[in-house]
């Protein structure tokens, strides 16, 4: 029988951060993970370069049924704190866009940084460990890992959400919450591509691979201006991933296909110079040519109309159509490709300062397993670091 002060289930972003912090405080810490490798999601994140934080991270960048919940942890461990850690380990990085920081070289540098911190803090990390039979005892918890019984005072659940099962995601965190009577809010895939019904998809099929800047707006008015990508199944790209977290099944999404253009003004100026130019030719200067062709084939625009025939009524209709192009997703690609899981352990059950369950002393939930989901752009890792750090001070 083994005995540790702290057992952490999940050697991912939040779990490793928490482990190092607790270890530095002199706690004996064991991290258990069923995967063969620590930090699998970190390794594939950001296209292999890990978008490890966002310099603009603030509570406004998170979805949570209690929007105030994230404030405490985010205020105590900021993007700057993680940047300092990255710099201390000599990991080279750069800002890509919108405050998103990426490794220059490889996401492996971030996993190595976390494992080095754990090593320096005296943490034991055991991979390929199958956790079962978690029980509350008088002084803490007992559990079995690969058949061995382990006792601990504090148990930290850091086993993430359901996205990407092939990267070892499981519902264990939710099951532990439920076992101890904590409420788990319904989960669904977030930061995920949309799929379209066959009749909507067929005309767009030849656009697969085409991307363009758009603003995407959900029915609750949330709006993101980033790139959109047509795919063989529907729509993807940062603008779509962002808005997918705010979209509810059955709803439309509105796309402004020319977010930076005063279309009426531009077409009027073009028409003054080239009155016989067709609308199709004029629009192909502003939008991807293949997209204009599809819009013409669909009958969404009258492609052969000469610009001189674009009267006020037609112009208004055209501007309206291109600035509020409606798509009706029939769903998303689901957990298979989603970057995150929305919903999870209800934050009302947890202390925002320590992440400890209010009704179960010694039990902690950190990272994605709880009902906190960041936007695309390094915000989810920042939540993993901040919540892991906060619990690491308390366990
Ligand atoms: P995380 O998923 O990191 O770790 C959970 C750990 O628990 C895993 O190691 C898993 O093996 C383990 N586990 C699960 N079930 C278990 C069980 N039954 N027994 C034992 N162990 C178990 N975010 C961001 O900010 N910037 C980015 O660039 C990206 N990019 C990105 C790309 C892709 C493809 C995905 C899928 C996700 C991202 N993300 C991201 C999101 C980010 O990866 C995610 O929010 C964090 O990894 C969450 O950290 P956690 O520690 O909570 O879970």
* One pLDDT digit (tens) per residue for the chain, 395 residues: 899 999 999 999 999 999 999 999 999 999 999 999 999 999 999 999 999 999 999 999 999 999 999 999 999 999 999 999 999 999 999 999 999 999 999 999 999 999 999 999 999 999 999 999 999 999 899 999 999 999 999 999 999 999 999 999 999 999 999 999 999 999 999 999 999 999 999 989 899 999 999 999 999 999 999 999 999 999 999 999 999 999 999 999 999 999 999 999 999 999 999 999 999 999 999 999 999 999 999 899 999 999 999 999 999 999 999 999 999 999 999 999 999 999 999 999 999 999 999 999 999 999 999 999 999 999 999 999 999 999 999 99
The domain that holds 216 is classified in CATH as 2.40.30.10
386/262 same-domain check: no
How many CA atoms, within 13 angstroms, populate the side-chain half-sphere of residue 257? Answer: 23
Residue 224 sits at φ, ψ, to 5 deg, of -130, 135
Same-domain pairing of 258 and 344: no
Domain that holds residue 224: 193-332
Residues composing the chain: 395
Residues 98 and 177 in one domain: yes
Say if ligand 1 is within 6 A of residue 245 CB. Answer: no
- pLDDT in the model for residue 205: 86
Q: Where does a domain end: 332, 358, 373?
A: 332
- Of 314, 332, 350, the position where a domain reaches its end is 332
Q: How many CB atoms lie within 10 A of CB 361?
A: 11
Ligand 1: residue of 380, 382, 390, 392 to mutate (most ligand atoms within 8 A of CB) is: 380
- 148 and 129 in a common domain: yes
CATH number at residue 136: 3.50.50.60
361 to each of 5, 156, 173, how far by Cα in Å?
14, 11, 17
Same structural domain for residues 136 and 282? no
Q: Do 239 and 117 share a structural domain?
A: no
DSSP per-residue codes, 337-378: T-SEEEEEE-GGGB-TTT-BBTTSTTEEE-GGGBS-EEPSSS
- Residue in 35, 70, 160 to alter for ligand 1 test, most ligand atoms within 8 A of Cβ: 160
Overall number of domains in the chain: 2
Q: Bridge partners of 62?
A: 374
* pLDDT reported for residue 166: 94
Q: Whose CA is nearest to atom 12 of ligand 1?
A: 10
Last residue of a domain, one of 296, 313, 332: 332
Give the Å distances, CA to CA, from 17 to 259, 374, 386.
40, 18, 9
Residue 197 and residue 183 share a domain: no
Question: Same domain, yes or no, for 199 and 62?
Answer: no
Residues 145 and 203 in one domain: no
CA 366 – CA 384 distance, rounded (Å): 7
Pairing of strands 363-365, 148-157: parallel
Note whether 255 and 374 are same-domain residues.
no
Tell me, yes or no, whether 259 and 356 share the same domain. Answer: no
d(CA 270, CA 284): 12
Q: What is the CA radius of gyration of the chain?
A: 25
Same domain for 319 and 288: yes
Q: Which of 37, 121, 125, 50 is nearest to 91 (CA)?
A: 50
């Amino acid at each position: 029988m083994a005995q540790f002060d702290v057992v952490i289930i999940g050697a991912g972003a939040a779990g490793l951060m928490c482990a190092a912090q607790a270890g530095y405080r002199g706690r004996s810490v064991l991290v258990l993970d069923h995967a063969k490798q620590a930090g699998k999601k970190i390794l594939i994140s950001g296209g292999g370069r890990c978008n490890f934080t966002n310099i603009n991270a603030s509570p406004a960048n998170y979805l949570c049924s209690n929007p105030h919940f994230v404030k405490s942890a985010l205020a105590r461990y900021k993007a700057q704190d993680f940047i300092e850690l990255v710099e201390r380990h000599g990991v080279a990085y750069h800002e890509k866009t919108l405050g998103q920081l990426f490794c220059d070289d490889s996401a492996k540098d971030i996993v190595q940084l976390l494992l080095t911190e754990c090593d320096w803090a005296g943490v034991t990390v055991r991979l390929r460990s199958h956790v079962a039979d978690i029980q509350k005892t008088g002084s803490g918890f007992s559990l079995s890992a690969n058949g061995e019984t382990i006792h601990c005072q504090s148990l930290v659940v850091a086993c993430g959400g359901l996205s990407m099962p092939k990267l070892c995601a499981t519902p264990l965190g939710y099951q532990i919450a439920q076992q101890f009577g904590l409420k788990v809010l319904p989960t669904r895939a977030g930061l995920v591509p949309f799929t379209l019904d066959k009749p909507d998809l067929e005309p767009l099929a030849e656009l697969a691979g085409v991307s363009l800047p758009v603003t995407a707006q959900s029915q609750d008015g949330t709006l993101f201006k980033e790139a959109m990508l047509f795919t063989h199944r529907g729509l993807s790209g940062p603008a779509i991933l962002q808005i997918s977290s705010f979209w509810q099944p059955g709803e439309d999404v509105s796309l402004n296909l020319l977010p930076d253009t005063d279309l009426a003004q531009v077409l009027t100026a073009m028409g003054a110079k080239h009155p016989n130019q067709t609308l199709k030719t004029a629009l192909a200067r502003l939008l991807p040519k293949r997209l204009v062709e599809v819009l013409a084939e669909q009958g969404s625009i009258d492609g052969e109309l000469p610009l001189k025939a674009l009267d006020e009524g037609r112009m208004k209709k055209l501007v309206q159509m291109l600035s509020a192009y409606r798509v009706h997703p029939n769903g998303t690609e689901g957990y298979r490709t989603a970057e995150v899981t929305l919903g999870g352990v209800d934050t009302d059950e947890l202390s925002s300062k320590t992440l400890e369950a209010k009704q179960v002393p010694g039990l902690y939930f950190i990272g994605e397993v709880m009902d906190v989901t960041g936007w695309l752009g390094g915000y989810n890792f920042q939540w993993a670091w901040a919540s892991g750090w906060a619990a690491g001070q308390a366990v």
